[in-house]
């Protein structure tokens, strides 16, 4: 019955409301039991008699004061006692000859009606006032007897039943809508979560309490990330399939030519073998890149941190590409200050980063162009930029250059060999694994500038690899 959150919330509110009403009823019961209506009526009558008596100048009666008070006591059916300044009895207009009353003591804590007791221990309700002559006048009556059953049926139950039932019903209705207000958004989240994964899932409307709205927004963000991840995964599988299909087709075709005798000359067989070798090498490089990317993604790649001289690393990369740059008639240079600090990093991985960036720059820089590698300190970080004077990257392609398998405008490189579009994705992962960041600025016809920012030291929480463990 109470398996759903909505029912449990409503039941909890109902219990709280019922408990509050019972507490109110208990307090009301104690109050009325100590101050029933008969006591209140008697006290009101005593105050009225006191007002009538004190409205006259009692001093003018002199010796007749006692008789006057007895007449008033008989008339109003009360007992009137006058006390001296030192609390001795001066006059006791006692029509019924009741036991003697002494000056009343201060009322006890939580007592709502003033009560005093006579010499026999019987209780009296009274009012007490000080007269102009500094004497005290007490108007009193024996405390009425109250039947508990009559008290319950006459005073407590009727108002409690009427007001309590109405309050309970209204409170339960309000509790029901509060339960809906809290539970419905959560139930909608549960329903959407049960339908995942699905491309048809739409964001859940943020409603209800602030905490539930925060949960809804966090859930919507998680769904958006999951859908983006699913989309990326599908594209990744499609791109891998496409990239593998081309070399496999070439390998299969030339292997078939060798098998069925179509390549019947040594030159033809050699050409077929070269194509098979080159395409299989291309597939091998792509598989290695995919494995490398997967390890970086999963945080299982091994970064071997050690002191690194960035100037020496950039000079080594420049020497490595000098023959290719000379052949392409492209100038390649390094700019780095002599006092460049030592960097704590994985030298092999950073060599992979700048090798990839320089290789791309060579592919897209025409003859007569230049490539410059520059290292400098910038706001406590080491900033390394790879700047070329190539044809630049279209503005529409800039947001996607680090996407996997993305290749912008292949025609720019005119016959140059291309990889599978994984190089810059691996570069991004390696830089982020070092706690750094990479950005690109480019304008068509004015070259491209890749900027890598790296912290000088690595903490236990900076690298992606350590963070994902």
Among 269, 298, 327, the domain boundary falls at 298
Q: Are 160 and 282 members of one domain?
A: no
Give me the residues paired with residue 344 across strands.
307
* DSSP letter for each residue of 154-170: IIIHHHHHHHHHHHHHH
The domain that holds 252 is classified in CATH as 1.10.287.130
244 assigned to some structural domain: yes
Between β-strands 89-93 and 79-83, what pairing exists: parallel, antiparallel or unpaired?
antiparallel
Answer for the pair 421, 347: CB distance below 8 angstroms, yes or no: no
Strand, coil or helix: what is 216? helix
Q: What is the pLDDT of residue 469?
A: 39
Q: What is the pLDDT of residue 463?
A: 45
* Assigned domain for 25 exists: yes
Residues 342 and 312: their CA atoms lie apart, in Å, by 11
Domain extent, residue 162, equals 8-32+149-194
The reply to whether 361 falls in a domain is yes
- Look at residue 292 and tell me if it is in a domain: yes
- Taking each helix axis from N to C end, the angle separating 347-363 and 423-433, rounded to the nearest 10 degrees, works out to 150
- For residue 185, the 8-state DSSP code is H
Triad 385, 390, 393: Cα angle to 5°: 80
Q: Which pLDDT value is given to residue 30?
A: 64
Provide the pLDDT for residue 63.
67
Report the candidate in 65, 54, 35, 72 with the shortest Cα–Cα distance to residue 155: 35
**CA dist 142 to 54, 116, 118, 145, 151, Å?**
21, 10, 10, 9, 18
Q: Is the pTM of this model over 0.75?
A: no
Question: Does residue 112 share a domain with residue 239?
Answer: no
- On whether residue 47 sits in a domain, the answer given is no
Task: Report residue 347: phi and psi, to 5°.
Answer: -60, -40
Give me the pLDDT at residue 468, please: 42
pLDDT of residue 8: 67
Please indicate, yes or no, whether residues 168 and 130 belong to a single structural domain of this protein. no
Closest CA to 84 of 73, 76, 94, 92: 92
Q: The CATH number of the domain where 350 resides is what?
A: 3.30.565.10
pLDDT attached to residue 350: 92
Give the number of domains in the chain. Answer: 4
Residues of the chain with pLDDT under 50: 1, 109-110, 410-418, 461-469
Gyration radius of the chain over CA positions: 49
């Amino acid at each position: 019955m109470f398996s759903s959150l909505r029912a449990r919330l409503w039941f909890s509110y109902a219990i709280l409301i019922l408990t509050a009403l019972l507490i109110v009823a208990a307090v009301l019961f104690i109050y009325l039991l100590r101050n029933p209506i008969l006591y209140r009526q008697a006290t009101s009558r005593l105050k009225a008699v006191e007002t009538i008596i004190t409205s006259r100048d009692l001093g003018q009666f002199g010796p007749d004061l006692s008789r006057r008070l007895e007449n008033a006591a008989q008339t109003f059916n009360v007992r009137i006692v006058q006390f001296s300044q030192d609390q001795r009895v001066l006059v006791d207009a006692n029509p019924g000859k009741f036991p003697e009353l002494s000056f009343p003591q201060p009322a006890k804590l939580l007592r709502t009606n003033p009560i005093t007791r006579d010499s026999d221990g019987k209780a009296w309700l009274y009012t007490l006032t000080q007269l102009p002559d500094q004497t005290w006048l007490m108007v009193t009556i024996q405390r009425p007897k109250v039947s508990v059953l009559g008290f319950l049926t006459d005073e407590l139950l009727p108002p409690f039943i009427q007001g309590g039932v109405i309050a309970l019903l209204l409170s339960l209705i309000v509790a029901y809508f509060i339960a809906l207000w809290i539970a419905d958004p959560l139930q909608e989240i549960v329903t959407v979560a049960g339908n995942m994964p699905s491309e048809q899932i739409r964001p859940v409307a943020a409603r209800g309490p602030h905490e539930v709205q925060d949960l809804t927004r966090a859930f919507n963000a998680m769904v958006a990330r999951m859908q983006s991840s699913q989309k990326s995964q599908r594209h990744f599988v499609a791109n891998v399939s496409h990239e593998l299909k081309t070399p496999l087709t070439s390998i299969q075709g030339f292997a078939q030519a060798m098998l069925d005798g179509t390549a019947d000359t040594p030159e033809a067989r050699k050409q077929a073998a070269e194509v098979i070798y080159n395409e299989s090498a291309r597939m091998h490089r792509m598989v290695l890149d995919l494995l490398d990317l997967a390890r970086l993604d999963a945080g299982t790649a091994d970064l071997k941190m050690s002191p690194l001289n960035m100037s020496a690393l950039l000079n080594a990369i420049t020497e490595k590409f000098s023959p290719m740059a000379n052949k392409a008639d492209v100038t390649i240079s390094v700019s780095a200050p002599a006092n460049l600090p030592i960097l704590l990093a994985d030298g092999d991985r950073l060599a992979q980063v700048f090798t990839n960036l320089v290789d791309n720059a060579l592919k897209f820089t025409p003859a007569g162009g230049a490539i410059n590698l520059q290292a400098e300190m910038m706001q406590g970080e080491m900033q390394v930029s790879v700047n070329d004077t190539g044809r630049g990257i279209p503005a529409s392609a800039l947001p996607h250059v680090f996407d996997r398998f993305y290749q912008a405008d292949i025609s720019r490189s005119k016959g140059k060999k291309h990889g599978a579009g994984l190089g810059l994705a691996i570069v991004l992962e390696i830089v982020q694994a070092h706690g750094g960041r990479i950005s690109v600025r480019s304008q068509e016809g004015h070259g491209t500038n890749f900027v890598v920012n790296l912290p000088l030291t690595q903490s236990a929480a900076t690298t992606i690899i350590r963070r994902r463990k």
